[in-house]
Amino acid sequence: MAIVEVRHLTKQFEGNATPAVDDLDLATTEGEYLVLLGPSGCGKTTLLRLIAGLEQPTSGEVLIGGLPMVGLPPRARKIAMVFQSYALYPHKSARRNIEFPLKAARMDPEERAKKVAWAAELLGITRLLDRRPRHLSGGERQRVALARALVREPDVFLLDEPLSNLDAKLRAAARDDLKQFQDRVGTTTVYVTHDQVEAMGLGDRIAVMSEGRIRQLGTPHDVYHDPADTFVATFLGSPPMNMVRRDDVLVGFRPESLLPKGVVQPDDGAVTIPFHVHRVENLGSERHLVGTLSGIGPETRVIAMLPSTVSVDIPIDETSEFVIRGADLRFFDTDAGLRTERRRL
């Protein structure tokens, strides 16, 4: 186990105007599950590859367990990586795939077999060991890839969107497996994803990235409820946080915070505002109300989200009174979009 740390890390690819990773600082804690979350092209995979040693940084430092790693090849870094495509060797059986890192480490065959059996047992793939990757399902391949990462007992796990090739149903199950698996082995893990549900569900902390920088680093609760800027606020959440301009600030609130009057107990600082509902989308577990809000600033299109447990009738094409609690309001400045101090509306 080890702490992964990067300092002033920059990666500039030749021919690109802006760096893929831009003067980035980040440190995990011991045994932490850190998720790098961001839209495609935000530099999260590049950052992971820099940590792995598959890319060399333009400048800056990578430390694993306190030791400087820049210039060392991946095999000297005591890391294991799971790739989006799983990158299993197609000409080798699952057993030979899992065994490969051990062979590379020159472990003797008896020890090797023991290790493979242990990893296979842990991931429940013992009966699949003699199959080639071609004869395995997506979920099984993913387990083999995990087993291959696990056998050498690395200091750090690096996972690059390991769930994105699975279909939606499998993904939920695999997410659960991943979490249990990490709880058991307790190895520091850096996990890259563009899927916020995965990030929220798996991460001890989430680093939200955009344009090669970290916009916010915090627990899933923090990044969701106290976003550091408008990017984080609108990237997380589905539908994203509503933003309404009022004088020199942007007022933000989550769709689930905008509720019909009477449903919610108003707190100190709560605002009651007229909401004109245009359209209702019933998604089963929840209802999305799309409409215009006029009470806070200029008329703005916003979305309200009611859980199916709130069964109030919402008249369409009419204006009703809605409430946002004071504690659910967030404020951002209009220039950089950074969070500013709370105020009363």
Partner 1 sequence: MKDRRRYLFDRDGVLAPLMLLPSVVYIVALVAVPFFLAIAYSLSDVTVGDPSFDYVGLRNFRAVLKDPVFRRSLTNSLFITAVTMVLVLVLGKILALVLTRDFRFKWVVRFLILLPWTTPVPLAAIAWLWMLDSLFSPIDWTLRWLGLIDGNLHWLGNSELAVVSVIAVQVWRIVPLAAVIIMAGLAAIPQDINDAAEVDGAGFWRKLFEVTIPMSLPVTAVATLFGAVLVFTDMSVVFVLTRGGPVDATQILPTWAFFRGIAGGDLAQGAAVALFLFPLLLAMAVLILRSVRKMEVM
Answer for the pair 287, 293: CB distance below 8 angstroms, yes or no. Answer: no
Q: Does 59 interact with partner 1 (rule: CB under 8 A)?
A: no
Which value, in Å, is the radius of gyration of the alpha carbons in the chain? Answer: 24
CB of 170 to partner 1, least distance (A): 20
Binding flag, residue 214, partner 1 (CB under 8 A): no
Binding part of the chain for partner 1, among 99-107, 205-213, 305-313, 330-338 by CB under 8 A, reads 99-107
Q: Which of 85, 137, 272, 282 binds partner 1 (CB under 8 A)?
A: 85
Structure tokens that stand for 217 in this block: 């680093």
Q: Give me the amino acid identity at 223.
A: V
CA angle (299, 301, 306) in 5-degree steps? 120
Interaction of residue 331 with partner 1, rule CB under 8 A: no
90 binds partner 1 (CB under 8 A): yes
Q: Per-residue x/- marks for partner 1, 111-140, CB under 8 A?
A: -----------------------x------
Q: Reduced to 3 states, what is the DSSP secondary structure of residue 41? A: coil
Local structure of 121: helix, strand or coil: helix
CB of 202 to partner 1, least distance (A): 21
User: How many residues at the interface with partner 1, by CB under 8 A?
Assistant: 27
62 near partner 1, rule: CB under 8 A: no
Does the footprint of partner 1 cover residue 13 (CB under 8 A)?
no
**Structure tokens belonging to residue 186:** 């307790």
Contact call for residue 148 and partner 1 (CB under 8 A): yes
- Min dist. Cβ of residue 209 to partner 1 (A): 21
Instruction: Name the segment binding partner 1 (CB under 8 A); options: 50-58, 121-129, 212-220, 230-238.
Output: 50-58
Our finding on whether 15 is near partner 1 (CB under 8 A) is: no
**C-alpha angle with apex 133: 148 to 165, nearest 5 degrees?**
80
The side-by-side arrangement of strands in the sheet containing 330-333 is: 242-246, 249-253, 330-333
Nearer to partner 1, 83 or 331 (CB): 83
| Among residues 8, 75, 221, 279, the one that binds partner 1 under rule CB under 8 A | 75
Taking the alpha carbons of 255, 260, 262, 267 in that order, is the dihedral positive or negative?
Answer: positive
Alpha carbons 304 and 297: distance in angstroms, whole number:
17
Residues 157-186 that bind partner 1 (CB under 8 A): 158
| 54 lines the binding site for partner 1 (CB under 8 A) | yes
Compute the Cα dihedral for 68, 71, 77, 80 and give only its sign. positive
Please pick, from the candidates 27, 67, 104, 338, the single residue that binds partner 1 as defined by CB under 8 A.
104
| Beta-bridge partner residues of 7 | 61
SS3 content of the chain, % helix, strand, coil (to 5): 30, 30, 40
Q: Which stretch binds partner 1 (CB under 8 A): 68-76, 196-204, 226-234, 278-286?
A: 68-76
Determine if 91 is a binding residue for partner 1 (CB under 8 A).
Answer: yes
Which of 87, 172, 185, 270 forms a contact with partner 1 (CB under 8 A)? 87
Sequence-ordered alpha helix ranges (H) in 86-241: 94-104, 109-123, 138-150, 168-185, 196-202, 220-225, 230-235
Residues whose CB falls within 8 Å of the CB of residue 164, separated by 6 or more in sequence, listed in order = 84, 193, 194, 195
**Selected range binding partner 1 among 32-40, 86-94, 168-176, 229-237, rule: CB under 8 A:** 86-94
Q: Residue 101 interacts with partner 1 (CB under 8 A)?
A: yes
Task: Let me know: does 44 contact 67? Beta carbons within 8 Å.
Answer: no
Nearest approach, Cβ of residue 157 and partner 1 (Å): 11
Choose which of 100, 117, 297, 314 interacts with partner 1 (CB under 8 A): 100
Using CB under 8 A as the criterion, which residues of the chain lie in contact with partner 1 when the complex forms? Answer: 49, 52-54, 73-75, 79-81, 83-85, 87-91, 100-101, 103-105, 134, 148, 152, 158
